[in-house]
Structure 1
């Protein structure tokens, strides 16, 4: 399959948007979360497109898949942190539902991408 231009991948584009949403969201979290949930969520969010980009540079699908799996792991981690933030009442149900939907879409897309690589 060869190398991919990661900037053209929808999973990368959507996960880059999620990074901005994560930063925007966590700006409203309490200050004492700065080194906890805020940094964790933003690190996880950044990890999603970063691993897609890094994986796309690999010459084999097996290597690309490994990075996509890391990216998927970060997406599940971010979703968990979103749920924690919601339980702490750091965001409204409306915003939670919207972001939950976005992360589920990203997870689905990464999963499909991995499946497609498996079929080559």
Structure 2
């Protein structure tokens, strides 16, 4: 499974989590975690469509930033007890895995941009 597919799965999991959060969080954390979770897959797709490895690496870096933002919000949601831990922790694990995959992809793209194609 590619990092883009995993990012789509993560965004869908975040959407499911937000449906069960308190209504008063709709315009607070809910909107922010939906935006940053969907931004991960969207930036991977946009970077891939750009056509150059350098551009792709740039958008992968942006996706990594969105993943870090999502991780931060999920930790806040857990600490504030706005959702069950058993629903948040798998999303945190997915976010960590995706972050590691994005880091590897970015390093490969940057290395490939500076040297011969693999």
Q: TM-score, normalised by structure 1?
A: 0.89
Residue from 91, 105, 110 that aligns with 1:99: 91
CA distance in 1, matches of 2:95, 2:74: 10
RMSD: 1.1
4+ residue runs over 2 A deviation: 91-97
- Stretches of structure 2 lacking an aligned partner (at least 5 in a row): 113-118
Aligned: 1:24 with 2:16:
yes
CA distance in 2, matches of 1:115, 1:63: 13
Give the CA deviation at 1:92. 2.5
Give the CA deviation at 1:99. 1.4
User: Which SS does the other structure have where 1:110 is aligned?
Assistant: helix
CA distance in 2, matches of 1:82, 1:41: 8
Identify the residue that residue 77 of structure 2 maps to in structure 1.
Answer: 85
Matches within 5 A, 1:1-120: 10-120=2-112
* Matched residues, number: 112
